[in-house]
Amino acid sequence: MSRIPLLLTASLLGLTACTTVVVGAPNPANGIRQDVADSDLEIFGAGDGDVDQLVRNALADLNTFWTEQFPEVYGTDFVPLEGGYYSVDPDDFNPDDYPDAIDDDRCLEDLVDSVSGNAYYCLAGNDGDLIAYDRTLLEQLKNDYGPFLPAMVMAHEFGHAVQGRVGVDSDKTIVSETQADCLAGAWTGYVATDAAEHFN
């Protein structure tokens, strides 16, 4: 008999002797705290669905995070978004759900077309900067990837708000988008340390 099968058998037995059973939950946590009250932050056009509440909670936690961190990092107070937040269902748009100024606002003109399949930050609104999003997109992302993803989308858009306050102005999309991702990652790190009110 050849020594190769014997060596192979001995090696396999040796490897199995080195294994350990890992005990853990088969499903990771979804990142959403269950034991806290939901935020009541105003979002124009928000529906009663859970994705708008996820976004509301994320925006509340993002405001808290940047209010705490902005002075430490940039040496000045964080100024909250003045133009507000806008939830849009492009397939069921009702202008009565939004402020009258929507028609005259550079950031909100053609709101349905601008936000369809998208979320965006706009620096130049009439009443200040704002974030708008397609809630049907965020609902789809939540269903496909889990409830933390809409929060991450808001963290990215909020990253653009931080850029607007710091004066980061790049004509290279790759620079502004990756930096917004980086700033979103800073908030995600905060969430991972169990410091956020609505997410963990």
Domain ranges of the chain: 32-192
How far CA 71 is from CA of 15, 56, 151, 158, 165, in Å, comes to: 53, 23, 23, 16, 12
* Interval 66-87 mean pLDDT: 96
- Span 98-109, pLDDT tens digits: 876 666 677 777
| % pLDDT > 90, the chain | 61
Residue 135: band (very low, low, confident or very high) from pLDDT cuts 50, 70, 90? very high
HSE of 3, CA atoms in CB hemisphere, 13 A: 0
Strands 119-122 and 84-88: unpaired
- Span 163-194, pLDDT tens digits: 999 988 778 889 999 999 999 999 999 999 99
Q: What is the pTM of this model?
A: 0.82
- What pLDDT, on the 0 to 100 scale, is given for residue 21? 61
* Interval 135-148 mean pLDDT: 96
Mean pLDDT of the chain, nearest integer: 86
